[in-house]
Amino acid sequence: MPSHAPSSVPADELGTLCLTMAKRAKAASTVLAQAPTTAKNRWLLASARALESRKDELLAANAKDIAAAPSFGLNAAAIDRLTLNPSRIASAAEGLRQVATLPDPVGEVREERQRPNGLQVKKVGVPLGVVFFIYESRPNVTVDAAALCIKSGNAVILRGGKEAIHSNTALHRLLSDELKRCELPSEAAQLVPTPDRQAVSHLLSMSEYIDLAIPRGGKSLIQRVASAAKMPVLKHFDGVCHVYVDAAADLEVAERIVVNAKCSRPATCNAAECLLVHAALADTFLPRIGNALLAKGVELRGCAETRKRVPAARLATEDDYRTEYLDLVLSVKVVANLDEAVSQIGTFGSHHTDAIITRDTRAAEEFTRRVDSSAVMVNASTRFNDGFELGLGAEIGISTDRFHARGPCGLRELTTYKYVVTGNGQVRE
């Protein structure tokens, strides 16, 4: 079965199309909110099997996107992200099976207490409603996002990158077919059928039907979504993450963590972008870490004190210290003490992930108390700020906002709660 080409929708019909999608999503969400865990898990497992059995159809759709990729000006790395292959399809299927094993946050009793008058008070998890998920080129994200939204009882409207539309259309059709087969509302997962950017603006205005927008991608995408959305947005703009090597650091631990935080996957939001070194260690640690990083091909941009110890570093500008390089580049600064480190992180960081390396528990305690980031690490790599690594099972994204959820957001963060209060005739004075 061939993929449908992305339909171009006349401007005057686009608003109606989006409104229809949003209303259908809301209607589907009220049915899905009541769906038993077993039905949602059955859908996850059936979709995993379908990904494998319908592999050829998915690869054929993906081939169309790959063929069209040069016309979008995609470079080799972007084409790689866009590519589906049997191993990536298997990994998407594995992701679905993992989500099936996670506890259902809907109906979960989160707190329970008995009041002196005998009232039994429970706080019970319920879905948010409808999620609008806006992302870029990796087609696997279509599957991951739909899995997390639906397992948490939310309907989802998916809006992938225009360059992935054939792949996403094929993946969405598969997920939707399995929803029907599992007797769940097929409109619980919808894909915006047109690459028109105006569709995103329309949907972001529909706060009556859509409860949450989640943008995942570059900073400019996230800024566009955040400024246009009339509903709450779960997001982080960027990850200007720091590693502070304290005077009491174990230098071997410090070297291992700095190299890992910078080099293991430099394009991720939890990679380190700035190294802060206590002045007492400037002579010993800086030459050592400088060599280790240069050997890994990292470009260093440092303060004057850094450059005395690592001459290969070029002079950092103030802008460098605010920059999320997403590449093998690292800012370096020598700080007088923990106080200056905390202040540098507060001024130049993005409240995403910051780490201290120290054997001094008092310093660790002060750093974790004063640094106000979604995750604060002690003697561990910044790269652990991730839903799976922190024990949430999986994540739909990382939030640096203060409202609702902070840090990695998994199934529970896609829900809210209600109070269920049971009495035997109590009235209030």
> Would you tell me which residues interact with a second copy (CB under 8 A)?
30, 33-34, 107, 113, 115, 119, 121, 124, 126, 128-129, 211-212, 232, 250, 252-253, 256-257, 259-261, 264, 346, 364, 368-370, 372-381, 383-386, 389-391, 402-404, 406-408, 416-429
Q: Which is nearer to a second copy, 55 or 322 (CB)?
A: 322
Q: Which is nearer to a second copy, 76 or 403 (CB)?
A: 403
**Is-contact 91 117, C-beta < 8 A?**
no
**Is-contact 356 275, C-beta < 8 A?**
no
CA–CA gap between residue 365 and residue 305 (Å, rounded): 27
Q: If we measure between CA atoms, which residue out of 244, 65, 245 comes closest to residue 164?
A: 65
Q: Which is nearer to a second copy, 72 or 417 (CB)?
A: 417
Q: Which is nearer to a second copy, 82 or 269 (CB)?
A: 269
CB of 216 to a second copy, least distance (A): 18
Q: Which is nearer to a second copy, 25 or 171 (CB)?
A: 25
Q: Which is nearer to a second copy, 71 or 227 (CB)?
A: 227
Q: If we measure between CA atoms, which residue out of 167, 179, 206 comes closest to residue 26?
A: 206
Q: Which is nearer to a second copy, 51 or 214 (CB)?
A: 214
CA–CA gap between residue 302 and residue 182 (Å, rounded): 57
CB of 65 to a second copy, least distance (A): 30
* Residue 1 burial (10 A CB sphere; 0-12, 13-18, 19+): exposed
CB of 6 to a second copy, least distance (A): 32
CB of 376 to a second copy, least distance (A): 5
**Is-contact 423 120, C-beta < 8 A?**
yes
CA–CA gap between residue 48 and residue 348 (Å, rounded): 43
What's the gap between Cα 27 and its chain centre?
27
**Is-contact 165 67, C-beta < 8 A?**
no
- What is the rounded (10 degree) CA torsion for 304, 307, 312, 318? -30
CB of 155 to a second copy, least distance (A): 13
CB of 369 to a second copy, least distance (A): 7
Q: Which is nearer to a second copy, 174 or 206 (CB)?
A: 206
CA–CA gap between residue 158 and residue 177 (Å, rounded): 16
CB of 406 to a second copy, least distance (A): 5
CB of 421 to a second copy, least distance (A): 5
**Is-contact 418 122, C-beta < 8 A?**
no
Q: Which is nearer to a second copy, 142 or 381 (CB)?
A: 381
CB of 50 to a second copy, least distance (A): 30
Measure Cα distances from 356 to 248, 259, 306, 320, 361 in Å: 10, 14, 19, 21, 11
Q: Within 10 A of 369 (CB to CB), how many other CB atoms are there?
A: 10
